[in-house]
Chain A
Amino acid sequence: MIDTLRHYETPEGIELKLPLAGPAVRASAWLIDILIRSAIYLIAWWILSFLGKVGRGGFLLMAFLLEWFYPVVFEAIRGATPGKKVMGLLVCQDNGTPLSWSASLLRNLLRVVDFLPFFYGFGLLSTLLNRDFKRLGDLAAGTVVVYAPDKNSEKPLPEQKPLPPPYPLDLTEQQAITNFAERSSSFSDARARELASLLAPMTQAPAEKATNTLHGYAQWLRKGG
């Protein structure tokens, strides 16, 4: 099965899923970061030019810090640069824990190499070839870029009287039924009926009612058996 999820098993035997982020979305994030930094440069140049020579030294110092440490600091403290945040990305260690300072420093200093020979040529090739979309800095620092998990909010289910399923369902099956109920409003009626009719052996209901029966199961499952 081809998928972009990477599984990591913790020492406690819990399986974590890391949804990896590929080169396209990361390039977008990088472009946003470039825009932000350019804006900072422009503003700083304008302000610091009033200060004369001291200002120019300050500008160089700031440029140094911004070029080398902008991603280091943001990724170590918040897990993502502003650009990555906008794109919903997060940098973490291979084991899913937050980035450490030294890993952040390493992965970002090695941008120098990823940048070669021309605007992230090596980095691009590396992300295209590596199955975890890692660039060279990621490989060395043991980090991955993933999609930030979204808040697990309950989506509303269609109103229906709760109905117990005729036999116990395992987790994936429960999820499928809940998923169906949550999303049925986005399907066309015909399609919803077609999907529901697949479970005819279980619902024992004619096609028109099967949808509602499944919604009933979903309500019952959400309340908890």
Chain B
Amino acid sequence: MQIDKISARLRLRNNWEAIDLGFSLARQWFLRLWLLWLVPATIVTALSLSLIDSVLLALVVAWWLQPLYERPLLHFLSRALFGEYPSVRRELRHYWQLVKPQLLVTILWRRFHPGRSFVEPVALLEGLKGKARSQRLSVLGLGTSGTAIWFGLLCWLFGRTLDGSQITLLYMLLPEELNLWFMENIASRLLSWQQGEDLHWLAALVWLTSTSLVAPFFIAGGFALYLSRRTRLEGWDIELAFRRMANRQQKRAANGGKAGAALALTLCLCGALLAPPAPASEYSKTPDLQADKTLAEEIAAQPEFGELETREVWRPIEKEKPKAERNWFEKLRGFFEWLEKVLPALGLFLKVVIVLLLVALIVWLIIRFTSWLDWLNLPGKGKRRKQTPPSSLFGLELGRESLPDDVAASALKLLENDHIREAISLLFRAALSHMVHHSELPISDSSTEGECLRLAERHRPASELGYFRRLTDTWLLLAYAHQPPSAEHTRELCQNWAQHYRDERSAESGSVS
């Protein structure tokens, strides 16, 4: 066990916080834990159902053997916590070794200990038995065993809540005509636990689902409780902090930062060569073996050498075992018999799955094709509110008064004076101003050139649009890529400007004046 590789934060927690940490652990590794539980549980349930005639009895057996499915989870958690993640396959291969220790007592009387997820680590991880175990438990359980038991009961309740939820959901998913049938044939019989094979298959399915969902949390909660108890009793958090401090100091020493540490380093590196003179003379005076030995012992007793360390290692009591021959034919036959029994339940299961898939599909379709729902998102008065036109766009002044009366002529004049940039800018600015003030396009002051163009595409006639697109392209090249257009191109733009914009503008200015 390498405590510095731990993947959960150790600190003092109260019992409930410890359980919550367990829940976090379980969520972190949920899929693996869930599979680890589900695989043996499903196998055992199926086996007992195919071997025992009475279905009820078979289910009770499968329920009774719960500790068998829980133990690998505990082993996995104890490994995963210290940064080692055994694969599900490996755990299942060593299944028997994981399950074997103290198996009999575990499934006999310890089966009914509600807090068994807290008690189990002592047997499984510490390998304690008999009196040693009970002593250990009385130390560990001080002030904790009550919580552990209550926690076990709570987990049982959680499982039953999920049972009820599944049945109720099933009921809610059924069409209304079947409600009465469901009540009479399923719910009431489930409650009164009457005989009936089909029903017990349903019960097994429901029980397996909910218990497998809760089991990882139950085991991890108990394990975390155990962990927290040991942290409190043995100061694991302090050990971790002290190790870090020692590391830090070593680094400091390596950097030669502090005098004391530097001295230690020097002694360490070249102790023999640079040994202080006084001890050296002592050595030369007393070539005594006995004295050397005491000296060596003294040195060994110094703190640099005198580090005590107890390592604790958790290891499953593993023993290689020759694989027993198996009668494959018998197994196969059992499997087919089992299949025959399972099929009706499988059919029901598939039906539920199909219904669920259908519901999911419908929801997906609704989500996918409900862009019409966006009308709920629009602010109520959005459409009617008249936008005030922006006074400038990307740094271009758009006010009408800032423009000359005859835009095209002014631009031509600018062009003749070799001010191509100013000419294009004037044309573009005037075109935008026209769109904003005259055509009343909903351009906001944060719009970009591209957005203006897209708005124009939607609202302006094609002829004007073609011109505006050319103008915009020219402007973009000029303004951002510094590629001035040719004089002819500019002239052509100037001449055409009037076609698209001048008429309306002069008419309007006429009406104004």
Contacts and interface: CB of A to CB of B under 8 A. Distances in A.
Please say whether the chains A and B touch (CB closer than 8 A).
yes
B245 A202 contact: yes
Interface string B230-244: 001111011101110
Across the A-B interface, the 4 shortest Cβ-Cβ residue pairs: A121-B165, A176-B241, A118-B164, A22-B20
Interface string A89-121: 000000000000000000000000000011111
Given A87-B16, A147-B14, A183 B235 contact: yes
B303 A119 contact: no
Interface stretch (A64-72, A136-144, A188-196): A188-196
Nearest to A87: B16
A212 B311 CA distance: 24
B242 A198 contact: yes
Contacts of A191: 234-235
24 contacts: A2-B7, A2-B21, A2-B28, A19-B17, A21-B17, A22-B24, A120-B161, A121-B165, A133-B20, A147-B16, A169-B245, A173-B245, A183-B232, A183-B235, A197-B303, A201-B246, A201-B249, A201-B261, A201-B303, A202-B245, A202-B246, A204-B260, A205-B303, A206-B303
A172 B241 contact: yes
Interface stretch (B121-129, B151-159, B491-499, B501-509): B151-159
Interface stretch (B166-174, B340-348, B427-435, B472-480): B166-174
A1 B23 contact: no
A27 B154 contact: yes
Contacts, number: 167
Given A119-B165, A131-B24, A203-B303, 15 more contacts: A4-B21, A24-B151, A88-B14, A120-B161, A121-B164, A128-B23, A133-B23, A172-B241, A191-B234, A194-B309, A195-B235, A197-B307, A198-B246, A200-B306, A206-B306
A23 B235 contact: no
Nearest to B172: A117
A2 to B, nearest CB: 4
Nearest to A4: B20
A21 B16 contact: yes
Contacts of A124: 158, 161-162
A176 B245 contact: yes
B25 interface: yes
Interface residues of B, number: 61
A166 interface: yes
A199 interface: yes
A3 interface: yes
Contacts of B23: 22-24, 128, 133
Contact of B245 (A23, A88, A199): A199
A146 to B, nearest CB: 10
Contacts of B249: 167, 201-202
Contact of A194 (B21, B28, B241, B308): B308
B323 interface: no
A186 interface: yes
B148 to A, nearest CB: 11
Contact of B17 (A4, A28, A210): A4
Counting chain A residues whose Cβ lies within 8 A of the other chain, the interface size class is 35 or more
A179 interface: yes
A107 B8 CA distance: 30
Nearest to A205: B303
Interface of B: 7-9, 14, 16-17, 19-21, 23-25, 27-28, 150-151, 154-155, 157-158, 161-162, 164-165, 167-169, 172, 213, 217, 221, 232-235, 237-239, 241-243, 245-246, 248-250, 252-253, 258, 260-261, 264, 301-304, 306-310
A23 B158 contact: yes
A193 B304 CA distance: 15
Contacts of B301: 206
Contacts of A87: 16
Interface of A: 1-5, 19-25, 27-28, 87-88, 117-122, 124-125, 128-129, 131, 133, 147, 166-167, 169, 172-173, 175-176, 179-180, 183, 186-187, 191, 193-195, 197-207, 210
B20 A117 contact: no
A3 B302 CA distance: 39
A81 to B, nearest CB: 16
Contacts of B172: 117
A85 B19 CA distance: 18
A133 B17 CA distance: 12
Nearest to B252: A167
Given A147-B14, A202-B246, A197 B165 contact: no
A166 B260 contact: yes
B504 to A, nearest CB: 54
B243 to A, nearest CB: 6
A80 B308 CA distance: 48
Contact of B25 (A2, A5, A167): A2
Contacts of A187: 233-235
A186 to B, nearest CB: 7
B164 A119 contact: yes
Contacts of B264: 201
B163 to A, nearest CB: 8
Contact of A118 (B165, B237, B304): B165
A3 B21 contact: yes
Given A1-B8, A202-B249, A203-B303, A117 B168 contact: yes
B304 A119 contact: no
Contacts of B309: 194, 197
A53 B309 CA distance: 77
A119 B491 CA distance: 79
Nearest to A131: B27
Contacts of B19: 22, 24-25
Contacts of A24: 16, 19-20, 23, 151, 154-155, 221
- Interface hub of B167, B217, B248, B303 (most chain A Cβ within 10 A): B303
A120 to B, nearest CB: 6
B238 A176 contact: yes
B9 A1 contact: yes
A208 to B, nearest CB: 10
Contacts of A210: 303
A201 B150 CA distance: 45
